[in-house]
Amino acid sequence: MSNRQAEIAAALEVVPAFVNEADLIAQIDKRKAFIKNCLKTSGLKVLVLGISGGVDSLTAGRLAQLSVEELREETGDSAYRFIAVRLPHGTQHDEHDAQASLQFIQADEADAVNIQDSVNGLGQQITHLQTLSAARRDFVMGNIKARIRMVAQFTIANATNGLVIGTDHAAEALMGFFTKFGDGACDLAPLSGLVKGQVRAIANYLGAPENLVFKVPTADLEELRPGKPDEEAHGISYDEIDAFLHGLPVSEEAYGIIVRTYDTTHHKRELPLAP
C-alpha cells in the first residue's frame, strides 16, 4: 500500500475487506444500530430515502426498514417508520428495477414524486443554460435533477418530522461521484466507509435479487446518455477503486486517475469555505 492510499483510506474511514461472514454481519448490525441511534438522539421517528433502482439505495433502504422494524419492537412505539420515495424524471428507463427494489425493501410507505416539471421549469428560467453546448447543458441539467430530488426528500422529511438518508459510500466519496448539495445532501449516511463490493455483499446477504445486486451502476442524470455507466464516467472500474481503497496494487493508470480525481473533488467532501 502506498502512503497516499493509506492516507486516503484513513480520511474516508474505509472499512477493511470482509474476511468472513461474521465481518459482514457485524457491519450490518453496526449500521442498523447507527440508524436507530440517529433517530433516537434526534427525537424523530421517520426516515426518508429516494429509491433509484440501484444497489446503493436498495441496500440503504432495506437497512432503514429493518431498523425501524427493530425500533418498533424494542420500544413498542408504532410511530417509527420508513418512507421510500421514487423520484423519476418523466419515465425512467429502468423503472422495472426501481419497482423491484421497492418490492424487496418492503417499506412502510412508498411515495412517488415526478421531478420533470420542476427541473424543466427551473431550467427554462436560467438564461445561462441557453448558451451552453448540448452536452454541457445536459450535464448541468443532470445536477439540477439531483438537487431537485434532494429538495423533494427534505420536503417530505420536513412534512413528516423525519430524517433524510443518503447513499454515499467510500467508492463514490473517493471519486467525488455525487452532486454537491444534491444526492450528497442528507442527515445520515449509513453506507459510509464501505466500498462498492461491500455494499453489494450486504445487499446479497440481505436477500436482494441478484440482478439488482450486480446491476451496472449508473447515476442516470444525462438525457443524451440515459443509463451511462458510472465506470465509464470514472474511466476505471469499481473493482479498481475498491482495490485502491483496500490498499491493494492497481495499475499506474488507475492510480493516477483515482488520486487526481480525489484531489480535484476535495471541495465536495468539505464544509463551505469560511474566512
In-domain check, residue 9: no
Question: Given a cut of 90, is residue 226 above it in pLDDT?
Answer: no
In-domain check, residue 141: yes
pLDDT at 104: 98
State the DSSP code for 47: E
Question: Given a cut of 90, is residue 33 above it in pLDDT?
Answer: yes
In-domain check, residue 136: yes
- How long a stretch of residues is the chain? 275
- Give the pLDDT band (50/70/90) at residue 114: very high
Helices (H), the chain: 3-11, 21-42, 55-75, 95-105, 116-125, 134-160, 170-175, 196-205, 210-213, 230-234, 238-245, 252-264
Question: Given a cut of 90, is residue 183 above it in pLDDT?
Answer: yes
In-domain check, residue 243: no
- Backbone φ and ψ for 26, nearest 5 degrees, come out as -60, -40
- Give the pLDDT band (50/70/90) at residue 222: confident
Question: Given a cut of 90, is residue 223 above it in pLDDT?
Answer: no
Q: Which long-range contacts (CB under 8 A, 24 or more apart) does 91-97 make?
A: 92/53, 92/220, 93/220, 93/226, 93/227, 94/53, 94/220, 94/227, 95/53, 96/53, 97/53, 97/54, 97/211, 97/212, 97/215
In-domain check, residue 275: no
Mean pLDDT over all residues of the chain? 96
- Give the pLDDT band (50/70/90) at residue 99: very high
Looking at the structure of the chain, the number of domains it has is 1
CATH code: domain of residue 121: 3.40.50.620
pTM above the 0.85 mark?
yes
State which residues form the domain around 187: 14-226
At 180, list the grid cell.
454537491
pLDDT at 220: 80
| Cα(50)–Cα(89) distance, integer angstroms | 13
| Cα(246)–Cα(224) distance, integer angstroms | 35
- The most distant pair of C-alpha atoms in the chain lies apart, rounded to whole Å, by 58
pLDDT at 9: 97
- Give the pLDDT band (50/70/90) at residue 274: very high
State the DSSP code for 229: B
Q: Which residues pair with 112 in a beta bridge?
A: 86
Active site residue ranges:
56, 172
